[in-house]
Structure 1
């Protein structure tokens, strides 16, 4: 499993949003990529509803909040309708992409998922495409706290705080 480190370049992962646009991280803007488990997960439904409530605050602070999962677009769209999430979402995260990000993967098993999926994670990418924050969970309840991330990332960016926990 590749190790991605804060302060290093975000991997050149190509994500396609449900709108058909290709997602480029960095490119003059800060991004927070949040990986969620998928439509099979009841905790994700509450999480996406909460993310929608915070999305305007992320935008006002200058952060592009992007969600992604291994679910297909066909499984993702009803989830977005149910939760009201209206921000950028990438569906179809591949096993190779999950490995490149270093997230924990879970086989579908009897979860109701259509295939292997990623456990919750978050990656903050600065305007130059460098990884500022990595938060990788290994269980459904180990989710990134979006409100805390918004406050912390805003503070770090506004005070030119460098990424912590990089190369050892």
Structure 2
């Protein structure tokens, strides 16, 4: 794929056991998401998606939405974040009837510097966005899984994530 080469200026990536950095973003429908504080007390999934325009991202979000009751039954919170505008994030949530919290308006470079994710290089004519990145966090806000994609594919899916959390909670 040309025009979307990842920027790799980040000197680090979050590793298993690292505490997830503090991050705040506005939510579709109102309010603010404060990570990792709002997720404390139970396992959680944090999905950074490229934007409303990305079909792979929309597929991932709908996959997690389809499994949301299973996550809720395990006391697992799932949240999604992007650089999208409020209008685009709202469109994503409405178009796919997403009930999981959707945060928007993040600054790609600032977020990438704190999280360690890849970003677009802007050569595709779109504003800079981050590449798909996903985390599974422990109840104490520590990284249990970090999955960094350098382009459109390579991301968490709901079934594997559910299986991993079930295994981790059963086997400590």
Unaligned runs of 5+ in 1: 161-168
Q: Deviations over 1:87-120 (max 9, x none)?
A: 1111112121122111110134436x4x111111
The aligned length equals 158
CA distance in 2, matches of 1:157, 1:52: 22
1:22 has 2:33 as partner: yes
The separation in 2 between residues aligned to 1:74 and 1:110, in whole angstroms, is 21
Alignment of 1:17-166 (within 5 A): 17-18=27-28, 19-25=30-36, 26-94=39-107, 95-110=109-124, 113=126, 115-160=127-172
Instruction: Kindly state the Cα deviation for residue 76 of structure 1 after the two structures are TM-superposed.
Output: 0.8
| Alpha-carbon distance in structure 2 between the residues aligned to 1:37 and 1:138 | 11
- Using the TM superposition, give the Cα deviation of residue 47 of structure 1 relative to its aligned residue in structure 2, in angstroms: 2.3
Q: Is residue 17–residue 23 contact of structure 1 (8 Å, CA) maintained in 2?
A: no
Shift of 1:48: 2.1
Q: What TM-score do you get using the length of structure 2 for normalisation?
A: 0.83
- How many angstroms does 1:129 deviate by? 1.6
Q: How far 1:49 sits from its partner (Å)? A: 2.0
- Give the whole-Å Cα distance in 2 for the aligned partners of 1:35 and 1:129: 16
TM-score w.r.t. structure 1 length?
0.85
Q: Take 2:145 and 2:59, find their aligned partners in 1: how far apart are those partners?
A: 23
Cα distance in 1 between the residues matched to 2:115 and 2:47: 11
Contact 1:71 1:91 in 2 (8 A): yes
Q: CA deviation at 1:27?
A: 2.4
**Residue of structure 2 in register with 1:6 after alignment:** 16
